[in-house]
């Protein structure tokens, strides 16, 4: 079982090797390594079956390359365009709202009709495959996993109960507001007692355990007897 780490010293090397926060690799992944590997989070087809980006690229006629962006592979109109509700050649259902209202959208020819990647989460099969790669290095040693503080496990961010939660309108100053939150009994042990690793523009709770513990948590449907939405995967290992 994952437990709160003793301290954050194991992650002290990360922040000095990060660049300014933004849309580039060095703002999220420490710089200075000889090579980097991308793990492309699988997407779903129209039936919800997980598929690789390569399969989606074949379907849309896109070219998959090392710096490919999903919205271009999927041939979305822009980076924030969501999965279309209706195919471009399908009739608009009579019982649906008018096209363009409340997030409804018709797909374009050659656009990927399925879902988009679940940002911040690996599906269980991909996580298990990644763990096996890491196991060749770590063996059964204790590892440290970092979970982003805004992760929603039981309807509230993990660290919301520890302090006042900043609410930030875009490009405006932060303002703090109190939150009404449930009791601190949703984890065993209480993950809210874990130390927090401070990184530019984000914070992570640090937990320790084995790689098998990480997979077990990702496969969990409950934590501490309370339901969690599909288990959770760490942002850092």
Mean pLDDT in consecutive groups of 10 residues from the start of the chain, 237 residues? 86 90 83 90 90 95 93 90 75 65 74 87 87 86 85 53 38 34 41 82 87 83 56 81
Q: What does the angle CA 30 – CA 133 – CA 152 come to, to the nearest 5 degrees?
A: 65
Q: Which run of H or E residues covers position 144? A: strand 143-148
**Are residues 219 and 180 in contact, defined by beta-carbon separation less than 8 angstroms?**
no
Q: Are 17 and 32 in contact (CB under 8 A)?
A: yes
Please tell me the predicted confidence (pLDDT) of residue 188. 44
Q: What value, to the nearest 5°, has the Cα angle with vertex 146 and ends 144 and 194? A: 85
**Global pTM value:** 0.72
How high is the pLDDT of residue 147? 86
Q: Fill in the DSSP letter of residue 42.
A: -
Rounded Cα distance, 179 and 172, in Å: 20
Q: How many CB atoms lie within 10 A of CB 108?
A: 14
Nearest to 230 by CA among 128, 160, 154, 146: 154
* 12: its two tokens: 């002290």
Res 99: pLDDT:
65
> What is the C-alpha separation between 80 and 65, in angstroms, rounded?
21
**DSSP of 177-236, one letter per residue?**
E------S-SSSS-GGGS-EEEETTEEEEEEEE-HHHHHHHHT-SEETTEE-SS----SB
pLDDT at 148: 84
* Secondary element (H or E) of residue 166: strand 165-167
């Amino acid at each position: 079982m994952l437990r709160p780490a003793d301290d954050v010293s194991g992650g002290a090397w990360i922040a000095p090797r990060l660049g300014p926060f933004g849309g580039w690799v060095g703002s999220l992944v420490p710089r200075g390594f000889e090579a980097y590997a991308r793990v492309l989070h699988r997407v779903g087809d129209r039936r919800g079956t997980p598929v690789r980006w390569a399969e989606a690229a074949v379907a849309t006629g896109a070219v998959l390359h090392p710096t490919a962006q999903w919205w271009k592979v999927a041939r979305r109109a822009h980076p924030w365009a969501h999965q279309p509700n209706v195919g471009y050649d399908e009739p608009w259902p009579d019982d649906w709202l008018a096209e363009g209202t409340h997030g409804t959208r018709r797909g374009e020819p050659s656009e990927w009709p399925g879902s988009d990647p679940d940002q911040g989460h690996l599906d269980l099969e991909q996580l298990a495959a990644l763990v096996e790669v890491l196991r060749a290095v770590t063996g059964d040693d204790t590892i440290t996993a970092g979970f982003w503080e805004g992760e929603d496990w039981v309807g509230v961010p993990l660290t919301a109960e520890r302090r006042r939660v900043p609410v930030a309108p875009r490009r405006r100053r932060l303002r703090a507001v109190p939150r009404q939150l449930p009791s601190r009994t949703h984890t065993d042990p209480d993950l809210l007692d874990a130390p927090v690793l401070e990184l530019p523009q984000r914070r992570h709770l640090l937990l320790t355990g084995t790689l098998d513990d990480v997979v077990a948590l990702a496969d969990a449907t409950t934590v501490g007897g309370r339901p969690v939405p599909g288990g959770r995967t760490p942002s850092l290992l």
